[in-house]
Amino acid sequence: MLKRLTIILSLGCCVIRVTAQERLSLQDAVNRALQYNYDVRIADASAKQAKANNTIGNAGMLPNINLNGTLGGSDYNTHNKLVNGETQDNAAAKTYNYSASATLGWTLFDGGRMFLVKKQLDIEELAGNEQFRLQLQATVSRVIQVYAQVLWQQKQLIAVDTAAALARLRMDISKAKFETGASPKTDYLQARVDYNARQADSLAQEANITQSFDSLNVLIGAEQYTTYILDDSLVLNTALEPADRQLLEDVNLSLSIYRRSADVSKLNERIAKSYRLPVLSINGGYYYNYSRSATGFLLFGRSYGPSGTAGISIPLFQGGNINRQIKVAALQSMRDELLYEKQRTVLNNHYRSAWRNYEVAVAAYRLQYDNIKYAKENLDVQEARFKVGAGTTLEAREAENSYTQALIALYTAAYNLKVNETIVLELENKLVQ
């Protein structure tokens, strides 16, 4: 097992040819992403929505209470002939009526569905919170990786510019030797070609850096084309320890969300079965009615007082729909349980792979960190030999290329280590506490 050791790799920032740059630390980038990233804001809204839905009223446990009122009237020209032979004529037969009531409807028993629905709402609220936290983890992980990518590319630019400086130095020395007759012109020409090639590499690398900054701006919700002065160093943790399998399953948010979904499906199966049970409800209220008519037998009427009913509904046959719903819910429950088991297997495999990649990245970084010293020493020796004429152009050029490649390999190893470290911490739900 790896010894606990934290190594800080100095990453000197390369100043790109832009103006009005602001400094952006890794923590600043993370904070901006958590505040402005669209995926985070959408997940936050979904979590709040699930919380707002989680009420006993939405589960159907509370009664419905209403205040009702009506007002009506008419003005008719009437002609009525009565059974006794008399007639009634009224050119302005006005009638009006109004009523008011306060009513209550309450389902007292529905087969236990209301309690099962409340449990579902509780689970959905927890799942919404976990989905939000999962999005936070994913966003922070992505920001760290893209931020590290920009630093890595800036360090590659430093390596390329270093190679260009070395080629320029060799070109100047070769030119001086050629002018004094100490070496052929071909040495100078080769150094010139190498110098021009390194300048072209530098321009291409600057374009890569600009593209990476664009990706970072999308994540943190910043304006396009904005570039920054980044941190001078990144902390590389080479002392991570693998989590226990059971502990990993307990803390991984993605797996937990699948577990919540399976639990909701099991409750849906129980809800479907509850439709076989009777439903008991009560309805009641207080009513007031008043009416007056200018014609007819009833000239005036008024009534008021309470009224109530209690009802029971027993499902006997629903065309086989209840059995169908139960079967469909049971199959869905089985499907979601299988998805959970599949995700658990995928998670364990992913974690083992991520951990192996992390160990390889740590070993590669340590190797390159040690190798750069030998490459630098070899470069110094070959440059000294070339200056005094003891070394050839080919040897000096080879030493320059070896040192440049060693620099790039070191920066690449540091970047790979940071990426794999971040992936492991994301799986362990440790990026956002």
End-to-end CA distance of the chain: 26
**What percent of the chain stands above pLDDT 70?**
93
pLDDT at 131: 95
pLDDT at 89: 75
- Three-class SS of the chain: CCCCCEEEEECCCCCCCCCCCEECCHHHHHHHHHHHCHHHHHHHHHHHHHHHHCCCCCCCCCCEEEEEEEEEEEEEEEEEECCCCCEEEEEEEEEEEEEEEEEEEEEEECCCHHHHHHHHHHHHHHHHHHHHHHHHHHHHHHHHHHHHHHHHHHHHHHHHHHHHHHHHHHHHHHHHHHHHCCCCHHHHHHHHHHHHHHHHHHHHHHHHHHHHHHHHHHHHCCCCCCCEECCCEEEEECCCCCCCHHHHHHHCHHHHHHHHHHHHHHHHHHHHHHCCCCEEEEEEEEEEEEEEECCCCCCEEEEEEEEEEEEEECCCCCCCHHHHHHHHHHHHHHHHHHHHHHHHHHHHHHHHHHHHHHHHHHHHHHHHHHHHHHHHHHHHHHHHHHHCCCCCHHHHHHHHHHHHHHHHHHHHHHHHHHHHHHHHHHHCCCCCC
The answer for residues whose C-beta is within 8 angstroms of residue 95's C-beta and 6 or more apart is 73, 74, 76, 291, 292, 293, 294, 295
Model confidence at 102, in pLDDT bands (50, 70, 90)? very high
Taking 70 as the threshold, does the pLDDT of residue 7 lie above it? Answer: no
Residue 304, phi-psi category: left (phi > 0), alpha (psi -120 to 50), beta (remainder):
beta
Least confident window among 115-119, 147-151, 193-197: 193-197
**Residue 139, both tokens:** 């966003």
pLDDT at 329: 95
**Residue 92, both tokens:** 């302005």
pLDDT at 297: 57
CATH number 2.160.10.10 given to 6-63+112-278+319-427: no
Model confidence at 13, in pLDDT bands (50, 70, 90)? very low
pLDDT at 393: 67
Q: What is the pLDDT of residues 275-311, one digit of tens each?
A: 999 999 999 999 999 888 766 556 677 888 999 999 9
**Residue 117, both tokens:** 């629905």
Closest CA to 107 of 294, 312, 275: 312
**Residue 425, both tokens:** 């911490």
pLDDT at 399: 77
Taking 60 as the threshold, does the pLDDT of residue 3 lie above it? Answer: no
Measure Cα distances from 42 to 45, 127, 158, 219 in Å: 5, 14, 39, 14
pLDDT at 109: 93
* Contact predicate 348/247, CB 8 Å: no
Mean pLDDT of 138-165: 87
* Beta strand 279-293 pairing with 87-109: antiparallel
pLDDT at 163: 76
pLDDT at 359: 94
* Contact predicate 429/251, CB 8 Å: yes
Question: Mean pLDDT in the chain?
Answer: 85
* Contact predicate 201/153, CB 8 Å: no
pLDDT at 296: 58
Higher pLDDT, 232 or 148: 148
Q: What is the pLDDT of residues 311-337, one digit of tens each?
A: 999 999 888 999 999 999 999 999 999
- Three-class SS of 385-403: HHHCCCCCHHHHHHHHHHH
Q: What is the pLDDT of residues 377-407, one digit of tens each?
A: 887 887 787 777 776 666 777 777 788 888 8
- Domain segments of the chain: what residues? 6-63+112-278+319-427
- What residue type is 12 in one-letter code? G
Taking 70 as the threshold, does the pLDDT of residue 347 lie above it? Answer: yes
pLDDT at 263: 95
Model confidence at 179, in pLDDT bands (50, 70, 90)? confident
Q: What is the pLDDT of residues 55-100, one digit of tens each?
A: 999 999 999 999 999 988 777 777 777 777 777 777 777 788 889 9
Mean pLDDT of 11-35: 69
pLDDT at 11: 32
Q: What is the pLDDT of residues 187-208, one digit of tens each?
A: 778 878 877 887 888 888 888 8
Closest CA to 59 of 131, 141, 114, 138: 114
- Three-class SS of 126-182: HHHHHHHHHHHHHHHHHHHHHHHHHHHHHHHHHHHHHHHHHHHHHHHHHHHHHHHCC
Higher pLDDT, 51 or 2: 51
Taking 50 as the threshold, does the pLDDT of residue 6 lie above it? Answer: no
pLDDT at 79: 76
Taking 60 as the threshold, does the pLDDT of residue 26 lie above it? Answer: yes
Model confidence at 20, in pLDDT bands (50, 70, 90)? low
- What residue type is 15 in one-letter code? V
